[in-house]
Amino acid sequence: MAESGDTGPCEGTPAAESYPKKILEYMEGFLISKTVFTSCELGVFDVLLGAERPLSAEEISEVVGASLDGMQRLLAACTGLQLLNAHTENGQVLYSNTEQARVYLTRSGPLSLYQSIQYSSRTIYLCWHYLTDAIREGRNQYEKAFGVSSEDLFQALYRSDEEMVKFMQLMNSIWNICGKDVVTAFDLSPFKIICDLGGCSGALAKQCTSAYPECTVTIFDLPKVVRTSREHFVTESDQRISFHQGDFFKDPLPEADLYILARILHDWPDERCIELLSRVYKACRPGGAVLLVEALLHEDGSGPLTAQLYSLNMLVQTEGRERTAAQYVALLAAAGFTNIQHRLTGKIYDAVLGHKETDS
């Protein structure tokens, strides 16, 4: 066998069989997640942002009301994770945010992931406690994790107003980071009247109106989501964006040239996807189209890891799954759409476009 000398154990690079590096990393991966969750929840990055200079563990623990010993360990771990810089001055360690922590982990700011981290910490993490049960049973875990019925998916997801707002903030935040790529993956400029089905508080709608100056977007969502969007998210200050409330499985859909379904189909099993897409097909103007925005799996299921893990999350949290482009093509074709193409963006979310023929 081609067992070369340099694969054997030596200092710094132990052989794979004597040091299971990946397994140890995976086994304790949640320690990293929880360190980030807790640092955000305590406001460590916000305190450092507000200060004009690097701060000591004493100063930070005092502001956030934490034990000094606990805070010292947390700050050290954040330094190891390259979220904080540690400088030593006169024998005292002082901390400041790294650039990534400042941009993404502080509470406000256009690219903040703070609310998503809160949702991961307070909701997703608790659901994943029951991943084993989810795999055995093949279903979501709201009853065990939160004591609510999972019969109506969005009643479970929106089990309180607070939970709904947190979910909406989670939905919002990724489009500041990946939104432009998904709305420009295809040239959507021919479509002037756009309907974003399940468009939530309108973060992707805003990306559309800024990429396509001639379009208008109607956000279609459940009544309480529309009400909350108007109260908390002030999207209608953009004259080209409006809301329409209803149930996309039951109520008439607004007429449009293009329907966007972003992270909608991955919530539902195939039958419900086809039911919804068939309604979209009927409402769509001839010559119009539907744009799916989803995290596409490779055709052989071999990746990307993010989509594979998200598919597990869809199991614990929804009735759906992540799918391959071919699986979305099949769903679109079953509803009547033709000339279906997909584009990968290189970020988390990709785009699939299907057309309704002019003469049908």
Q: Where do contacts with ligand ASE occur on this chain (CB under 6 A)? A: 124, 263, 266-267, 310, 313, 317-318
Q: Is 225 in the site for ligand SAM (CB under 6 A)?
A: yes
- For residues 360 and 336, the answer to whether their CB atoms sit within 8 Å is yes
Q: Is 195 in the site for ligand SAM (CB under 6 A)?
A: no
Q: Is 322 in the site for ligand SAM (CB under 6 A)?
A: no
Which of 45, 104, 243, 248 is in the footprint of ligand SAM by CB under 6 A?
A: 248
- Contacted entry of ligand SAM, ligand ASE, none for residue 233, CB cut-off 5 to 8 Å set by kind: none
Q: Is 263 in the site for ligand SAM (CB under 6 A)?
A: yes
Q: Smaller CB distance to ligand SAM: residue 39 or 318?
A: 318
CA distances to 60, 188, 309 from 25, rounded to whole Å, are 29, 43, 16
Q: Which of 266, 298, 342, 355 is catalytic?
A: 266
- For residues 177 and 238, the answer to whether their CB atoms sit within 8 Å is no
Kind of pairing between the strands at 92-97 and 84-89 = antiparallel
Number of Cβ within 10 Å of residue 132's Cβ equals: 10
Stretch binding ligand SAM (CB under 6 A), from 85-93, 128-136, 217-225, 301-309: 217-225
- Contacted entry of ligand ASE, ligand SAM, none for residue 199, CB cut-off 5 to 8 Å set by kind: ligand SAM
- Contacted entry of ligand SAM, ligand ASE, none for residue 322, CB cut-off 5 to 8 Å set by kind: none
- Measured between alpha carbons, how far is 338 from 286 in angstroms, rounded to an integer? 12
Q: Smallest Cα–Cα separation from 358: which of 343, 335, 338?
A: 338
- For residues 167 and 158, the answer to whether their CB atoms sit within 8 Å is yes
* Residue 88 amino acid letter: T
- Contacted entry of ligand SAM, ligand ASE, none for residue 94, CB cut-off 5 to 8 Å set by kind: none
Task: Quote the least distance from Cβ 168 to ligand SAM, whole Å.
Answer: 7
- Contacted entry of ligand ASE, ligand SAM, none for residue 247, CB cut-off 5 to 8 Å set by kind: ligand SAM
Task: Quote the least distance from Cβ 10 to ligand SAM, whole Å.
Answer: 49
**Residues with Cβ within 8 Å of residue 303, at least 6 apart in sequence:** 297
- The residue ranges of DSSP E strands in 3-158, in sequence order, are 55-56, 84-89, 92-97
Helix spans in 250-341 (H): 270-283, 305-317, 325-334
Task: Quote the least distance from Cβ 186 to ligand SAM, whole Å.
Answer: 17
| Structure-token pair, residue 180 | 């432009």
Closest residue (Cβ) to ligand SAM? 198
Task: Quote the least distance from Cβ 204 to ligand ASE, whole Å.
Answer: 13
Q: Is 221 in the site for ligand SAM (CB under 6 A)?
A: yes
Phi, psi (degrees; rounded to nearest 5) at 318: -140, -165
- For residues 281 and 336, the answer to whether their CB atoms sit within 8 Å is yes
- Measured between alpha carbons, how far is 118 from 207 in angstroms, rounded to an integer? 24
| Distance, CA of 297 to chain centre | 15
Phi, psi (degrees; rounded to nearest 5) at 337: -70, 150
Task: Quote the least distance from Cβ 267 to ligand ASE, whole Å.
Answer: 5
Q: Is 154 in the site for ligand SAM (CB under 6 A)?
A: yes
266 noted as active-site residue? yes
- Contacted entry of ligand SAM, ligand ASE, none for residue 313, CB cut-off 5 to 8 Å set by kind: ligand ASE
Q: Smaller CB distance to ligand SAM: residue 8 or 223?
A: 223
User: Which residues in this chain contact ligand SAM in the complex, by CB under 6 A?
Assistant: 154, 171, 198-200, 204, 221-222, 225, 247-249, 262-264, 267
Tell me which residues are annotated as active site: 266
